[in-house]
Amino acid sequence: EAPARAETITVTHWGSAFYGAPYAVALEKGFFKKRGLDITGFLTSAGGGTSVRNTLAGEVPFGEVALPAAILAIQSGQPIKIISGGVESVEDILWITQPDGKVGSLADLKGKKVAYTAPGSVTNMIILNCLQKAGLEQKDLQLVAAGDLGANLSAVLNRAVDAAMSGEPLWSGNQGKVKAAFWAKDCMNPALTQTVGITTAEFAKTGGDKLRALIEARREGVAYIKAHPDEAADIVAKAYSGDPKIFREVFKHFVGFEYFGDGRLHYDNMNRMLDGMKLVGRLKGPVEWGQVVDTSFLPKDLQASQ
């Protein structure tokens, strides 16, 4: 294949969360290049909707974005398709508290001030699941949206709240300063599709080869992480300007619970996300997966997804 010109794709939360790790590895290891892709960078943003919009406006309309954002965009008529799966787990998400904090488990939540990221977000879904699990109502405690992970952490460190949401790599990097209160997996099945690959309906018609190559390159990256977690951690640490020691720790966990999907679509995991969206009142109507997804760019062996 002829080498393509330098191009950028969208990856949500590049640099701050690990959705981008397989892409970082693929770039470093030349998995893009060997498929004729000259990917030079990753456009990122901190918001679900922003990532989808960035994908729509990007030169190569491919993005790994939050599934809820993709669904909302499709439901509002945006011409996009879900073409692959991404991160399939929320096992790294937990709520933290001060080392001497009063929240030791789900049961302690009553009457406390508890932070999560933003209304309608995945963490909002999880905390509502946790409340159900603990038999609590929203009015039994004070839920506050504190912003991103960093803000949640500093809210705990500054004792502005009793517990706040956290995840990697902040959790691994701040052990000792905070302790775990309870985990997402204590409240629900943590197999949840967090991100998916999307593209525009138009590019799906013309850019099939490129999309297939992108998905394959990511898949190879995921496999590489599994095989060489330490090296992968180092690569990502370099790309994210992070601390390799912490990243190795993080990647050990990730490999343990199959954090990165290989690209196939897990409809159970995706449906759980729909349930979550319903729970926080974000879903506008029922979703027919058949009209939303396009599996034709997945490698043959992954097309027959569950």
Partner 1 sequence: MTRERAVTLTRIAWIAGFVVLLEAVCRLHLVNPLTLIPPSEMATTLWGMLASGEIAGDIARTFSTVAIAVVLAVAIGFTLGVAIHALPRVRQGLDPLLASYYSIPTFVFYPLFVAIFGLNSVPLIVLGMAFGVPAMILATLNGLDRVPRVLMRTARSYRLGRLATLAHVVMPSALPYLLTGVKLALAYAFIGIIAGEFILADAGLGHAIAYAYDGFENRTMYALMLFVLVVVTGLNMTLHAWEGRLMRRRARA
Partner 2 sequence: MLGLWQGLHAYAGEAAIASPLAAFRHLSGLLASAGFWSHAGATLTAFAGALVISALLGIGLGLVLGLRRFAGEVAEPILAGLYSIPKVTLYPVILLVFGLGLGAKVAFGVIHGVIPITLFTLTAVKGINPVLIRTARAMRLSQAATIRTILAPAVLPEIVTGLRVGFSLTLLGVLVGEMFASQKGLGFLIVNGISLHNVKQTTAVILMLVIVAVAANGVLLWLDRRFIHRAA
Report the interface residues with partner 1, using CB under 8 A.
Answer: 47-50, 52, 69, 72-73, 75-79, 113, 115, 118-120, 144-147, 150-151, 154-155, 157-158, 160-161, 282
- 161 interface partner picked from partner 1, partner 2, none, CB below 5 to 8 A per type: partner 1
Residue 49 CB, nearest approach to partner 1 (Å) = 3
Residue 105 CB, nearest approach to partner 2 (Å) = 24
Nearer of residues 6 and 107 to partner 2, judged by Cβ: 6
Contact (CB, 8 A) for 62 and 72:
no
The 8-class DSSP code of residue 163 comes to: E
Residue 157 CB, nearest approach to partner 1 (Å) = 8
Site residues (vs partner 2, CB under 8 A)? 8, 13-17, 41-46, 50, 53-54, 57-59, 148-151, 153-154, 157-158, 169-170, 173-174, 240-242
- 52 interface partner picked from partner 2, partner 1, none, CB below 5 to 8 A per type: partner 1
What is the distance between the terminal CA atoms of the chain, rounded to a whole angstrom?
A: 33
Nearer of residues 41 and 111 to partner 2, judged by Cβ: 41
Residues 6+ apart with CB under 8 A from 30: none
Residue 57 CB, nearest approach to partner 2 (Å) = 5
Contact (CB, 8 A) for 196 and 65:
yes
CA–CA separation, 143 and 220 (whole Å): 40
Q: Select from 288, 232, 290, 274 the least CA-distant residue to 23.
A: 232
- Kind of pairing between the strands at 113-116 and 80-85: unpaired
Nearer of residues 246 and 265 to partner 2, judged by Cβ: 246
- 219 interface partner picked from partner 2, partner 1, none, CB below 5 to 8 A per type: none
CA–CA separation, 85 and 295 (whole Å): 10
Q: Select from 269, 267, 245, 247 the least CA-distant residue to 258.
A: 269
Nearer of residues 61 and 229 to partner 2, judged by Cβ: 61
Nearer of residues 57 and 107 to partner 2, judged by Cβ: 57
Residue 19 CB, nearest approach to partner 1 (Å) = 17
Q: Is 159 exposed, middle or buried (0-12, 13-18, 19+ CB in 10 A)?
A: exposed
- 295 interface partner picked from partner 2, partner 1, none, CB below 5 to 8 A per type: none
Residue 261 CB, nearest approach to partner 1 (Å) = 24
The H or E element spanning position 119 is none
Contact (CB, 8 A) for 181 and 126:
no
Residue 210 CB, nearest approach to partner 1 (Å) = 23
Nearer of residues 119 and 135 to partner 2, judged by Cβ: 119
Q: What is the dihedral of CA 80, 83, 84, 89, to 10 degrees?
A: 40
Angle, helices 229-240 vs 21-29, to 10°: value is: 100
- 76 interface partner picked from partner 2, partner 1, none, CB below 5 to 8 A per type: partner 1
